[in-house]
Amino acid sequence: MIQCMDSENLHRRFKKIIGQINAIDRMVDEDIPCEDILAQINAAKSALHKAGQVVLEGHIQHCVREGIEKGDADRTIARFTKAVERFANMK
């Protein structure tokens, strides 16, 4: 499914998220106030959610479009539904 994803964009996002997580980990040992740590956790969570949006958009633009063009509506709808359910469960 790599052809349906903007892999450069995703890799850039994941590297940033990894940096955020590493910074949060360091904050735990640096006596940073809990509310500041929670704010950074929320920022990392939001960044992961946005990465999920990028994947879902790619799925729609490529996989769903291709499924429709090939006339495989039932399978395309099932896979799209599964993708949306997984994205919706990201909390």
Q: Domain ranges in the chain? A: 8-88
Domain 8-88 CATH assignment equals 3.40.50.1100:
no
* pTM exceeds 0.85, yes or no: no
- Cβ neighbors of 51 (< 8 A, separation 6 or more) are 10, 13, 14, 17
How far apart CA 64 and CA 76 sit, in angstroms, is 6
Per-residue pLDDT reduced to its tens digit, 26-80: 999 998 999 999 999 999 999 999 999 999 999 999 989 989 999 988 999 999 9
